[in-house]
Amino acid sequence: MDTPARPPGELHGDAATVVLLRDGRAGVEALLLERPGHRGSFAGAWVFPGGHVDPEDYRGETAGRRGRGAAAPEGEPDVESAARRAGVRETEEETGLRPDAGALVPLSVWVPPVEAPKRLRTWFFLARSPAGDVALSPDEHVDHRWIAPAEALERHGRGDMSLVVPTWVTLRGLLGARSVGHALQEAATGERAVFRSRRIEEPGGREVIAWAGDAAYDAADDAGTHGSLGAAAARHRLDITSLPWVFERSSSPLLRQHPADD
C-alpha cells in the first residue's frame, strides 16, 4: 500500500544537533564530521554530530534542565527533552564521546524551507566536549576535525570545505567566543534563536535563505520569489548565490519565538 503523501509544508519530525566545543591553542574549536561524499543526507558536507529524535527518546526521564520558556503543554510530548536525549545518543554513536545531557545548553532551532524534501525541525545545543578521543562511526562519517570557527568559514569561502546553512550560521555566531566557558555563558543567558528558513530567488539569479525580520521573507509570495529590495529594506538573510556566502542582518533585534508557538 502506498504511503499517503504529507501535506505541503508539514514537518517530518525532529532532530538534534550537538555543537561540541573545546579550548584549543588558538581559541575555541568545534568538532566537525565529514559526511560521505557519495550517499546519504548532506553528502560531502562537514556537520556537527546529531540525528533523528527517535520514539525511544521520548520514553526517558524528563531532563532536569529545560530551555528557557520550553515547558511543554500538559498532555503533549516534551520534544526538547527528547531532543536532548537524542543529541547525547547520536553524539556518542557518531563520535564515541558522550556529553552530559543536563549540561547541554539550548542554542537554536532550525525549521527547513517548505520545499525541502525532508523537513526535520532541528534543535541545536552547545556543550563542552568530554575528554577522550573521537571514534567515528564508519557508516556515518569519513573524517573529523577540531577546527576554529573562523578557519572553517574561510575554508568554506574558498570552496575547500562544504558546509550547510545551519552549520555556517552557527560557526559565525561562535566567532566572538573567547573560550568555551564564554560561549556557553553567552548561550545560557541569551534567548534561543528560531530560524524558520525560506529560500528566496531574486532578480539577477541571486539566491538567499531568509528568516523573519527580512523584508523579502515577510513579503514573499507562495512561489518563494520576490522583487528587488531597496537599500533601506530590512535584512536577515544569508546570500548563498556564490562563495563566499554573505550574511546580512539589520540592526533591529532578531525575532525569536519558541517553536511550540507554530
Instruction: Give the three cell numbers for residue 257.
Output: 519565538
Q: What is the pLDDT of residue 62?
A: 41
Looking at the chain, how many residues does it have?
262
Instruction: Give the three cell numbers for residue 140.
Output: 556515518
Q: What is the pLDDT of residue 9?
A: 65
Lowest mean pLDDT among 11-15, 135-139, 149-153: 135-139
Lowest mean pLDDT among 57-71, 73-87, 175-189: 57-71
Rg (CA), the chain: 18
38 vs 136, more confident: 136
Q: What is the pLDDT of residue 251?
A: 61
Q: What is the pLDDT of residue 39?
A: 65
What backbone phi and psi angles, to 5 degrees, belong to 232? -90, 0
The tens digit of pLDDT for each residue in 49-65 reads 999 999 999 987 443 33
Rounded-to-integer distance, Cα 195 and Cα 179, Å: 25
pTM score, two decimals?
A: 0.85
CA angle 212/215/221 to nearest 5° reads 90
The three-state secondary structure class of 201 is strand
Q: Is the pLDDT of residue 2 over 80?
A: no
Q: Is the pLDDT of residue 198 over 50?
A: yes
Percent of the chain with pLDDT over 90: 68
2 vs 120, more confident: 120
Mean pLDDT of the chain: 85
Q: What is the pLDDT of residue 196?
A: 96
Rounded-to-integer distance, Cα 72 and Cα 14, Å: 15
Give Cα separations from 216 to 169, 207, 258 (angstroms).
19, 12, 22
220 vs 224, more confident: 220
Instruction: Give the three cell numbers for residue 137.
Output: 562511526
Rounded-to-integer distance, Cα 92 and Cα 86, Å: 10
The H or E element containing residue 106 is: strand 105-111
- Sorted by sequence, the CB contacts under 8 Å of residue 74 that are 6+ apart come out as none
The tens digit of pLDDT for each residue in 98-150 reads 999 999 999 999 999 998 888 999 999 999 999 999 999 988 899 999 999 99
For residue 227, the Cα-to-chain-centroid distance in whole angstroms is 28
Q: Which residues of 229-253 are buried (b: 16+ CB within 10 A; e: fewer)?
A: beeeebbbbbbbeeeebebeeeeee
- Asked whether the beta carbons of 29 and 129 are under 8 A apart, the reply is no
